[in-house]
Amino acid sequence: MFKEYQHLRIPGPTPIAPEVQRAMDRTILGHRGGEFSKIFAETSEKAKKAFQTNQEVLFVASSGTGALEMAVANLVQPGDKVLVVVTGVFGERFAKIAKAYLADVLVLEFAYGRALDPQQVSSLLQQHPDIKAVFATHCETSTAVANPIQELAEIVKDSSAILVVDSVSALVGMDLQMDAWGVDIVVTASHKALGLPPGLALIAVSDKAWKIIEQHSGPRFYWDLRAYRDNAKKNTTPFTGPVALIFGLNKSLDLIFIEGLEQGFQRHLLLRNMVRQAIKALGLELLVKIDSEASATVTAILGDESFDVEQLRKILREEYKIIVAGGQQHLKGKIFRIGHLGYTHPMDILTTIAGVELALQQIGYPVELGAGVKAAEEVWANVKNIS
């Protein structure tokens, strides 16, 4: 009876709102037709509000990684010096992409579980004034760290460097004011806090970055940002776009704005705080120790010698229908991660924590059933009482 029943609590793909699912199920339209162009134009204007920018938000049929490569491909030529700030696996991916384009890559690495230090970035920019671009993640999904992008942008905008931010698992779940903060390129993807299936990437570019892109002499074709910009002015894409996903994005953005951007940020913080307090109440250890450095969209929990993280995930998946993420690279088997972004309600968190408690008891971990749920409920009740 419950074959397809599940609680998807990973940091992407995320659950899809029924209204968004219905929007994607509408009759398909030709991607060059006038009716679709009208929807494209509406969605583009709404996307600007999500990015908090006056720049065009460009739609790319791609994963988030594709749009990250697009940013590199349009900025970096062989031998260009770039700085990549690494706080986890996805920061490392930025470095790999830049190296693939033959950049001279400086890596500033921080311990997994810690956020970047903007002052260290400032020092490197002073030591290397020829740095062309700085690449950083907003939410480092692999470690559940939230990086201080506003502070970083304050430092980078006083240099000649371009700041490129991977906000794939953060945008609309965490505040990012592209124009006000002075971020030059922002990338996100459909299957995270936007609450859509995978397959659509979104990228926005500042005037400062466009000047560099226009001067770029390297080869580009599918990833040519100029082509996407020029076609966006005609309410279309240079190549076949993900039509159904744009239908869904249009509706998803409606739901986001009905809630309100600021209210959405506060909801994500509430979900984060519920998870963090519940995990502490269960006697487990958080990978990110400092609340101000903890992502509002995903939480990473350390295992210990008393239980097997992968066994816990298997029991959650097979017996309680709760899907949580594991660790990546050297954190594989050492942490599990609970995603709490997009179409996620506080009741979903209570269900998830209840499942974690039952699974922990099943594998012999000394847990008091209800302790985590109670801690999470108290966080939620406190917010409700304040409001």
Q: Tell whether 300 and 173 lie within a shared domain.
A: no
Q: Tell whether 248 and 177 lie within a shared domain.
A: yes
Percent of the chain surpassing pLDDT 70:
99
Q: Tell whether 151 and 286 lie within a shared domain.
A: no
Mean pLDDT computed over 300-326: 96
Which residue, 258, 276, 308, sits at the end of a domain?
Answer: 258
Whether residue 2 lies inside any domain: the answer is no
Which residue, 222, 240, 258, sits at the end of a domain?
Answer: 258
Mean pLDDT computed over 173-177: 98
Q: Tell whether 39 and 132 lie within a shared domain.
A: yes
To the nearest whole number, what is the mean pLDDT of the chain? 97
Per-residue tokens: 9: 């609590």
Whether residue 318 lies inside any domain: the answer is yes
Whether residue 61 lies inside any domain: the answer is yes
Helix axes 346-362, 309-319, angle to 10 degrees: 120
Percent of the chain surpassing pLDDT 90:
96
Q: Tell whether 271 and 235 lie within a shared domain.
A: no
When divided into structural domains, the chain yields a total of: 2
Whether residue 1 lies inside any domain: the answer is no
Residue 304 has pLDDT above 90, yes or no: no
- Map tokens 């942490």 to a residue: 335
Q: What sign results for the dihedral spanned by CA atoms 202, 208, 212, 213?
A: positive
Q: Tell whether 222 and 252 lie within a shared domain.
A: yes
Which residue, 206, 236, 258, sits at the end of a domain?
Answer: 258
Residue 385 has pLDDT above 80, yes or no: no
Q: Tell whether 242 and 141 lie within a shared domain.
A: yes
Q: Tell whether 295 and 319 lie within a shared domain.
A: yes
* Residue 307: band (very low, low, confident or very high) from pLDDT cuts 50, 70, 90: confident
Residue 152 lies in domain = 18-258
Q: What is the CATH number of the domain that holds 366?
A: 3.90.1150.10
Q: How far is CA 55 from CA 187, 223, 234, in A?
A: 13, 18, 15
Q: Residue 137: what are its φ and ψ, rounded to 5°?
A: -100, 145
First to last CA, the chain: 40
Cis peptide leading into residue 129 (ω within 30°): no
Residue 300 has pLDDT above 50, yes or no: yes
pLDDT in tens, 145-155: 999 999 999 99
Q: Tell whether 254 and 324 lie within a shared domain.
A: no
Whether residue 140 lies inside any domain: the answer is yes
pLDDT value of residue 387: 43
pLDDT in tens, 3-55: 899 999 999 999 999 999 999 999 999 999 999 999 999 999 999 999 999 99
Q: Tell whether 185 and 213 lie within a shared domain.
A: yes
Whether residue 298 lies inside any domain: the answer is yes
Alpha-carbon gap, residue 298 to 304, rounded angstroms:
20
Q: Tell whether 191 and 285 lie within a shared domain.
A: no
Residue 283 has pLDDT above 70, yes or no: yes
Residue 386 has pLDDT above 60, yes or no: no
Q: Which amino acid is at 285?
A: E
Q: Tell whether 378 and 248 lie within a shared domain.
A: no
* Residue 305: band (very low, low, confident or very high) from pLDDT cuts 50, 70, 90: confident
Whether residue 123 lies inside any domain: the answer is yes
Q: What is the CATH number of the domain that holds 244?
A: 3.40.640.10
